[in-house]
Chains A and B, each alone.
Chain A
Amino acid sequence: MKERILAAYDPFVLPFVFGISFVIGYCLLALFKVLVQLSPADRRKFALSLITPSTILKNLRDLFCDCLLHVKLWKRNKVLGYMHSSIAFGWFMIIVIGHIETVLYIPERLHKLYYPIFFRFFMEEQKQTLQGSFFFFLMDFFLLIILSGITLAIIKRFRSRIVGMRRTTKLTLTDLIGLYSLWAIFPLRWIAEGFTAGVAGGSFMTIPINWILHSFMSKPENITVAWWAYSLALGTFMTVLPFTRYMHIPAEILLIPMRNAGLPVRHTRKGFTLAMLYSCPSCGVCIDACPMGVQKKNVQDATVYMVRNLKRRNQRRSLEIAEKCLMCGKCASLCQVQMDACGIRLAYRTAQEKKNNRLPADFSYLNAVTPQEVGEEKVLYYAGCMSSLTPVISRSVQRVLQAAGVPFELMDRDGAICCGRPLLLAGRRDEAQQLIEKNRQLIEKSGAQILLVSCAICYRIFKEQYDLIGVEVVHYTEYFNRLIAAGRLPLKNSHETLVYHDPCDLGRGCGIYDAPRQALSQVGQLVPALKEREESVCCGGSVGSLTLRYEDREPITRGSIENLTANNPEQIVTACPLCLKTFGRFAPVPVRDFAEMLALHLETNKNDTK
C-alpha cells in the first residue's frame, strides 16, 4: 500500500468535510443546551453516573445493543431489526475499518477527517498481500450487508406491509431529503470504489464492477465524478441530519447514559425530555401499538406525532394529543428508545393545569376522617372508590379472605377517599399530593402491616408515590396467589376456558403478569389472547384520557374485547374494577373479576354469588 495522491487532498472531499463539521458543531451545541437545561440536582446525578463503574458498563452495553444492533427491534420484528442493524452496524464497521487501515498503512494522515472515509481514493495497492485482501474483503462484506439493509428500507417505504407494519409514518420534506441521500450513499460508494478497484484494490463487490466497465472506468476524469457523487451524498445527508429524524443517531448516544442515570421527565421539551424527543427515529411502531388507532382519526394522536408536534412547538396539537391519550403505556413498552410517552404527556398536563386552573381543590373536609385501629395481625383492605360501583369485588375479596382464615379490616367502609391517581393523571399534582398525604396517614396510623388493594389503578400509585413506612402494599392477585401456594385456599377447577386481561396499570404499570395467571389456572383453563402481557390492549375506560368521549371509547373497548376473545374463551377475567365495568358493557361473554372467580370456585362454596 502506498499513497497514490501525494497531496492527500482533492476538492471532492469538501462536501463531506462541510457536512461532518456542521453536524459535529450542531451536536455539541445541542449537548450544551440539554446539559444547561437540566436542574442542578439532575446534572450532578448525571455526572456522578458517568463515573460509576456499573453504570459505565451498562452504558456501553446499551450503546452497543441499542444503537448498533437494535436488539429491541429484533425481538419485535426480525425484518425491521435486520434492516436497521445492518445499516447501523455495517456503517459503523466500515468507519472503524477505514480508521484501522489508516492507522496501519499511513498513520500520519489520521488527523485528516476525510482520509479514512475516502481511503481507497488516496491509496494504491502495489502488490497483493494477505492483510490487504483481508481488509478489502471486510469492507466489501459490510458494504454488502448495508446494501441489503438499504434494499429492505426501500421496499419498506413503498410496501410497509411486507415488513409487517400496518401503518408507517408520514415523512416531512427534510426527512425525505435525508432519506434519499442516505439511500444514495452506499450504492454511490460501491460505484466509486468500483472505479478505483483497479488501482486501489477491492474484493468480491468492487472488483466485478471494475471488470464490467473497465474501459469506461479507467478514465481518470470519470473516477473523480464518481467520488464527487459519493462525497456529495454524504455531505447532503450530514447537513440535513439535524433537521431530520436521523438526529436520533447522535441523540440516542446522549439519551442512553441519561436514562441509565435515572433522570426523570420534568419538562415538556427541555433537558432530558429534549434528548428523548430527538432520539425518536419516527419508526412508527407506536402507531400500530396504540389502542386508539382503531379509529382512523386518532392515528394523528399517536406518540410519534406527539414527538413531532412538541419538536415543532405546535402548542394546539400538543395539548390535544397530551389530553387525549389513555396513558396505557403500550407504545412506551414497545418503543425502541423507551420514549416516556405518558411521562411527557403528564408533564404537559401538569404545566397546563398549573397555569390555567383557577379553582384549586379544597379537601379540608377530609380532616374529619380519623384512622382506624386495626392492629398488626389484621390485613387492611382498601377496596378503592371505583369498587363501590362494582360491589361484587369487595364482597368476593372478603369471602376469599374468610375462606382462607385471614383476619382483615375494611379501610373504606364509609366511602373511600380516592387514591389520588385520577387527579395526578389530570395534571393536578399538588392536589393529588393532598390525598396521598391523607391516605398515607390513615394507613400508617392504623397499625396494619399489610395493605391489600383490589384496584390496579390504586395499586400503582400506592407503589409509586406513597412511600409507606412499615406497610407492605399487595395487589389481591399476588396475595391470593400466595394463599393458594401456601395451601390455604382450597379451590376446585371447573375447566372452563378463561382469558385473562392484563389491566394497564397492573401489567405494564407494575409488572404483575404471572401471579393472576397462576392463580386462575387453578380454577379454569387459561387461553391466550391475541396480544397480552406487555402488549395487552387497554379496555378504553381509562381515567388517563381526559378528552376521549363516550362514543370514541366504545370502539376501543370493542377492539380490546375482540383481542381477548380471539380464542373463544367462555369468560373474560380481569383484575381492576374499571376494566370490569368497561368490558361489562359490550362483552359477548361474561366478564368476571379475579376475586369473584376465586370466590366462585371455593371448595366450601355452597351457593354461587352472582
Chain B
Amino acid sequence: MIDFGYGLTPSATLRIENVQNPLFEELHRREPDVAKCIACGSCTASCSAGCFTEMSLRRVILSLQRGREKEILPMLQHCMLCGKCQLVCPRGINTRHLILSIGKVYGPADQKEEVRP
C-alpha cells in the first residue's frame, strides 16, 4: 500500500441493537408489548396529560429504546394513568402496565432493591 498520508476512517454509524441497554431489557421482560410500538403517535394525540403538558408516550417509548431515559422521565411523571392511550393504540399495547413498569424499572433511586408486600 502506498501511504498517501490519509486513509479511510471506520464507519461512525451507531448500531442501536449492539448497545447494551439492560434497563430496557428488564422493561421488555416485564412488558413485552413495548417492542410492538410503531411510533404512530395515536397515544400522544389522545393523552389527557398531553392537554396540559408535553407528555408524549410515543416519545417516551422511542427515548427508552435509545437508552435516553433521563430526557423523558420527568415527562412521564405527568401521566394520570387514565388509559386513553391504551384504547386508541392500534397495536393493542398495554400502555398502562408499560407506564407502571417503567416506574419500577427506571427512576432516580436505581439502587433500590425490589421488595414485595
Chain A positions within 8 Å of B, measured between CB atoms, are: 268, 315, 319, 348, 351-353, 355-363, 365-366, 368-369, 385-386, 388-389, 414-418, 420, 422-423, 426, 428, 435, 541, 543, 546-551, 578, 581
Contact A549 B33 (CB under 8 A): yes
CB-defined contacts of B109 to chain A, threshold 8 Å: 358
Expressed in whole angstroms, the Cα–Cα distance for A388 and B77 within the complex equals 22
Closest A residue to B31 by CB, please name it.
A547
Expressed in whole angstroms, the Cα–Cα distance for A560 and B49 within the complex equals 31
Contact A385 B84 (CB under 8 A): yes
Closest A residue to B79 by CB, please name it.
A361
Number of A-B contacts (CB under 8 A): 111
Contact B80 A357 (CB under 8 A): no
CB-defined contacts of A435 to chain B, threshold 8 Å: 80
CB-defined contacts of A268 to chain B, threshold 8 Å: 117
Contact B51 A415 (CB under 8 A): yes
The 3 closest A-B pairs by CB, nearest first: A358-B107, A415-B51, A550-B92
Q: A388-B46, A389-B88, A414-B51 are in contact. Are A358 and B104 (CB under 8 A)?
A: yes
Kindly provide the distance from the CB of B18 to the nearest chain A CB, expressed in whole angstroms: 28
Contact A356 B80 (CB under 8 A): no
Expressed in whole angstroms, the Cα–Cα distance for A418 and B48 within the complex equals 7
Q: Mark B78-117, 1 if CB is under 8 A from A, else 0.
A: 1111111001100011101100101110111110101111
Q: How many residues of B contact A (CB 8 A)?
A: 38
Kindly provide the distance from the CB of A525 to the nearest chain B CB, expressed in whole angstroms: 31
Q: A358-B103, A359-B106 are in contact. Are A365 and B53 (CB under 8 A)?
A: yes
Q: Can you identify 26 A-B contacts, CB atoms within 8 angstroms?
A: A268-B117, A319-B116, A348-B117, A352-B117, A355-B114, A355-B117, A357-B100, A358-B108, A358-B110, A359-B107, A362-B78, A363-B78, A365-B78, A369-B52, A385-B84, A386-B82, A389-B46, A389-B84, A417-B80, A422-B83, A435-B80, A546-B96, A547-B97, A549-B92, A550-B92, A581-B87
B76 interfacial contact with A, CB 8 Å: yes
Kindly provide the distance from the CB of B91 to the nearest chain A CB, expressed in whole angstroms: 8
Expressed in whole angstroms, the Cα–Cα distance for A578 and B83 within the complex equals 10
B73 interfacial contact with A, CB 8 Å: yes
Contact A543 B78 (CB under 8 A): no
Contact B88 A418 (CB under 8 A): no
Other than A348-B117, A357-B100, A418-B82, give 11 A-B pairs with Cβ distance below 8 A.
A355-B115, A357-B104, A360-B77, A362-B74, A366-B52, A385-B84, A418-B48, A423-B80, A423-B81, A551-B92, A578-B87
Q: Main secondary structure on chain B at its contact with chain A?
A: loop
Q: Which of B33, B83, B102 has the most CB of A within 10 A?
A: B83
Kindly provide the distance from the CB of B101 to the nearest chain A CB, expressed in whole angstroms: 10
CB-defined contacts of A352 to chain B, threshold 8 Å: 116-117
Q: A368-B52, A415-B52, A543-B83 are in contact. Are A358 and B92 (CB under 8 A)?
A: no
Kindly provide the distance from the CB of A192 to the nearest chain B CB, expressed in whole angstroms: 50
Expressed in whole angstroms, the Cα–Cα distance for A369 and B52 within the complex equals 9
Contact B77 A359 (CB under 8 A): yes
Contact A361 B88 (CB under 8 A): no
Expressed in whole angstroms, the Cα–Cα distance for A389 and B84 within the complex equals 8
CB-defined contacts of B53 to chain A, threshold 8 Å: 365
Kindly provide the distance from the CB of A319 to the nearest chain B CB, expressed in whole angstroms: 7
